[in-house]
Structure 1
């Protein structure tokens, strides 16, 4: 709570020390729709589009388990050309694929359904999506837009502002897609450092929320290995085995990190926090599930 009595969820989470590791939502396919007008609180679902087209896009996205995000360039008053759309697809071998198009009429967005069923083009640079969805959560705008500004100044062709990506209290949030990497609790300076390192093939544990192809305890395990042994490429580590007994996970992480060990045993324990207000606009109290790394050891 600020001196003015206004609640900011990211400030509260930072003051409590809420851990960010293991908080990346699962997903390997993203649909981006550039929309230059105001964003409704519920994003794409709230747009006044042709109902049949919207239903077709949503149906295809559900089938592909894709997340639909509205995007826009930061601070550009007169964008060039028609709005764009994209389908971004993660590949566990690193051969990520993308398909891009443009739309001028609502009906043009129906092409997204076909793109969701096609492989897409490999070898394109990743997209940096910065959550700046102020109508969904105040902290996303307050903390996200300075991040979007700093990153857009450095990589104008890669960076987009986007609608809600999850984890409002970890703002500023960004997703590198289709790499499938979530970073959180960023400001202008730390975001430029994190993205610069990411684009150079080095993922650091600092600010890492998780890899979106892994489940929360696995995300926490990989982040712990990165924190102990240093940054590594997005696909340098993989989860080879996961076992669970009640609230305790044993996770084997294997790696190709040059000069380091090749396998690790990571112990993770989960617990729920006391009920708290987790978003700016949601006054109801909710308990969060936290994944705590108990130990990391080099496997024999």
Structure 2
């Protein structure tokens, strides 16, 4: 899969056994823009769009703390300008909302700003994003594109390739939005299983990086619960209390199926030795890892 002698961050991370629970970036709003030409290394920021429209969309996204991702369908690139855009939102009550539109001229993208101020439509199927941003990191293309290709044969209407989502060394990365679920360390076979299970509302711990509606220690706690007790629905568990102490965090997780059952999870953080964490970044960096120290069952 990879060329001998060349450094690939995902290969190195697998050899080290890098932990990835608790590595999903926090966020509840995503802006998707279909862009069929080559993607700049810095994604949306590097596009040569109409300056006024580009600034308007960027400012609106910043105001809503939305992440802008360029997307395209897997496989051969389609000719022509424009495409589709979407605003996807995971609201505070757990509602999943989407608003879609189309664009041909740069100025058409200004409608994204208005969409960010509207609630969107509930009940639409999720979007499955596969990071395949090779100009940002080689592993995203080398590992991401085979995954997007196979997933699109099963779910052609749901699957898109996208720009950088974070955690290059965990490629292939798949993000389901607006569910807000990150999966990593996938290949073609495991990706089909993970997405099939996700769409059936069964989240497994094995490839779970985290839920974007939770902060990293909370993500690690829920992943630990799933690892201990087995796969469960996206909303099977709620984080109801988080207490920071000198050793880490004490996180209480409630079971929606049994309202009287609570799980007390202790999470510790540690720094890894400096390592080369991305293909493009030659400097070594230390990563923060979240370990589950204990899980105790109790009553709410």
TM-score bucket (shorter structure): over 0.9
Q: CA deviation at 1:256?
A: 1.7
Task: Name 1:140's counterpart in structure 2.
Answer: 140
Task: Name 2:271's counterpart in structure 1.
Answer: 272
Provide the aligned C-alpha RMSD in A: 1.6
Runs of 4+ in 1 over 3 A off after TM superposition: 76-82
Change (3 A) 1:29 1:15: same
Distance 2:128 2:196 in 1: 11
Task: State the TM-score, normalized to the length of structure 2.
Answer: 0.96
The answer as to whether partners of 1:232 and 1:257 remain within 8 angstroms in 2 is: no
1:71-123, Cα deviation, whole Å (9 max, x unpaired): 00001444799500000001344320000000000000000000001000000
Give unpaired runs (5+ residues) of structure 1. Answer: none
Change (3 A) 1:182 1:3: closer
The answer as to whether partners of 2:81 and 2:104 remain within 8 angstroms in 1 is: no
Map 1:1-300 → 2, pairs under 5 A: 4-78=4-78, 83-257=83-257, 262-300=261-299
Secondary structure at the counterpart of residue 280 of structure 1: coil
Secondary structure at the counterpart of residue 85 of structure 1: strand
Give unpaired runs (5+ residues) of structure 2. Answer: none
Distance 1:9 1:261 in 2: 44
Distance 2:121 2:44 in 1: 25
Task: State the TM-score, normalized to the length of structure 1.
Answer: 0.96
Q: CA deviation at 1:4?
A: 3.2
Distance 2:22 2:296 in 1: 19
Q: CA deviation at 1:67?
A: 0.2
Secondary structure at the counterpart of residue 114 of structure 2: helix
Distance 1:210 1:224 in 2: 11
The answer as to whether partners of 1:126 and 1:178 remain within 8 angstroms in 2 is: yes
* Higher mean C-alpha displacement, 84-93 vs 24-33: 84-93
The answer as to whether partners of 1:131 and 1:164 remain within 8 angstroms in 2 is: yes
The answer as to whether partners of 2:69 and 2:162 remain within 8 angstroms in 1 is: yes
Secondary structure at the counterpart of residue 87 of structure 2: strand
Q: CA deviation at 1:257?
A: 3.8
Change (3 A) 1:269 1:101: same
Distance 1:143 1:18 in 2: 17
Distance 2:80 2:144 in 1: 24
Q: CA deviation at 1:168?
A: 0.2
Number of equivalent positions: 298
Q: CA deviation at 1:247?
A: 4.4
Change (3 A) 1:275 1:111: same
